[in-house]
A and B are shown apart, each in its own frame.
Chain A
């Protein structure tokens, strides 16, 4: 009966007892929501546990559910959502069968076991649904999330080889409030001179037009060619705009889109699986990166609720579902923009940090080259020190890449992220290196030598 997951649905046990008090839950979805660590977004949605004891009761129920039961009870029904259908229809059955019998509690222990290695996790990954990754995260502490996250190895290639052990990469993000290309160029050169940008030179445009996208891409393409710099470029306009720009004829290494975890939330973004497939095929045909990986996705907890498209499910589970969609397109980059959405979804430093580690763990477990925009907006309750600590946690957890901007300040989007100075600092602290191709380029330019700054470190004249 392995194939017939929808042919039967055995009643699942949804009750637990703590100190004589019994707790009952109406659905797997409710158990998943109430098992979540505190998040202001789940409170806003009215689905979180009413207190810490009920939260543990939900976790006790969750620990005894099997992965098979999670597959049979997706948080958005098969009939109502194309993401559920895609995950269900495309799941690797052999990989699924290897772990289907485990309870979530056993699954957590199996993930943490020293004998469960990175290659094993990579092999099982195509058999996991997003709900399984989310469920495991709810039984894990920050250290658990980091331990498993660090084990997962997801290696991808475009012009660079990203995700190898002992590497920490960065997106250089030279945004400008009016897309002044000279301003963008100045910031990009500065970033490269600090050893940033091996994941991508990625610009969020102020103007979402094909012409503007093409104009920025040409300038960055010239910069990379002039300096023979091995990295990728991307302008993060809407996927339809990038498709038009490609058809106008412009260099484009990676194609970007923001994605969310339900069909309805993606509709609010103006996308569908069919549209992403179109973009994916176009960038594979006309993209300028060597490949084979050429897509770039951004996600973030809370985005579905912000368009009332969460189907009563918690924001961690919905976030995992976005990864379930992203993995279809073999992306080169995926990152959660964890603190950008605001305090109504992630209130403070502890919530933002927790969400970053959850997202990194879930993304890696589902087979993605997961990075993170560790950041806060100025109305969230997070300090600069907390943000710096989070970057160390992410680096230690094997996060594939972080962002990088001048002093971490995005002068267009008005939020605080990782700085050009933070990336070399983290590499020194954690003994990490950039991608091998970029490392060799930095060495040749005298910007970074071995494990420390070279003679041209921070010297923008080294990048013409």
Chain B
């Protein structure tokens, strides 16, 4: 052991703290895509919102990238954490209902409870909503109450107009809290709708939380599964804009009523152009969230 201590130089004093070197400020590194700074970023920005061409510090991110990332993360988490205020439905001309869920944590952990109406809400649907309609539309919080509050009403109204134009009778407007997709089955069954359509907040992505998805089902009833449904996702201003989505949704509802089916058995080929597909999509722009103190 003594020999080992000698080898380690234990009798010598520990080395002194090294002299302070000059520390120049590193070059400014900015959040990309910044087309004006890199040909690659300029080219890529026409095709993707992926954060490419952002450079590196050692193997890690520049401070500016870290802040942008944290801002985007905060936006996504805020969208998930937001709750639809109880008065929102009435203020916007909807009949308000709630699932069997009683808290936000329970909503995340118990999808089964989010698929069924509370006793009070079941009574509300029975007493206040029109029966025997063609299409029952429900707007709902889903995983982003923010998206529901931002675009829910506009999308609902656009779908009503598109359905009317096709001669379809829509039901009493309903807005649901703590709702999962399958809640449309119980509501649709209660009002005896031919088609039920729920428009609800999607699980947010980084920096976004404003997307709605629509799930449509023919002959709504408890016990339907995902295979019985058709859906359109990415309904927001950077994706499918609400007016276009409304046209497609009304066309879907018509096709379902005509073919008396939905989901995997629905023949989408007969929907034609209006059902969408891989058309032109304008370049998507990733919003810069952190302003002020931006390096130049």
Question: Residues on A close to B: CB < 8 A?
Answer: 40, 43-44, 174, 176-180, 182-184, 186-187, 190, 194, 207, 342-344, 347, 377-379, 384, 405-407, 409, 411, 414-416, 421, 424-425, 428, 453, 457-458, 460-461
Contacts and interface: CB of A to CB of B under 8 A. Distances in A.
B61 interface: yes
Nearest to B73: A384
7 contacts: A183-B48, A186-B47, A378-B205, A407-B51, A407-B54, A409-B72, A416-B206
Contacts of A377: 203
Interface string B177-211: 00000000000000000000000001111101000
Nearest to A423: B59
10 nearest A-B residue pairs (beta carbon): A183-B48, A414-B205, A183-B47, A186-B44, A378-B76, A182-B47, A190-B52, A424-B59, A406-B50, A425-B59
Contact of A186 (B50, B204, B208): B50
A254 B56 CA distance: 31
A405 B56 contact: no
Nearest to B227: A268
A414 B60 CA distance: 22
Contact of A187 (B48, B56, B109, B204): B48
Given A378-B205, A409-B50, A177 B234 contact: yes
B81 to A, nearest CB: 9
Interface string B77-119: 1011000000000000000000000000000111110000000
B55 interface: yes
Contacts of B50: 174, 176, 183, 186-187, 405-406, 409, 411
Interface of B: 40, 43-44, 46-56, 58-61, 65, 69-70, 72-73, 76-77, 79-80, 108-112, 143, 202-206, 208, 234, 278, 281, 284
B109 A406 contact: no
A186 B40 contact: yes
Nearest to A426: B59
Given A44-B112, A407-B69, A421 B60 contact: yes
A176 B281 CA distance: 12
B73 A182 contact: no
B76 A407 contact: no
Given A183-B50, A379-B143, A409-B51, A460 B109 contact: no
B interface secondary structure, majority: loop
B206 A414 contact: yes
A344 B109 contact: yes
B47 to A, nearest CB: 4
Given A343-B108, A378-B80, A414-B205, A187 B52 contact: yes
B80 A379 contact: yes
A458 B89 CA distance: 50
Given A174-B50, A347-B108, 9 more contacts: A40-B109, A43-B109, A187-B52, A190-B52, A344-B109, A378-B79, A379-B80, A421-B56, A453-B58
Contacts of A457: 56
Nearest to A428: B59
Contacts of B43: 182, 186
Nearest to A453: B59
A425 to B, nearest CB: 4
B53 A411 contact: no
Contacts of A179: 278
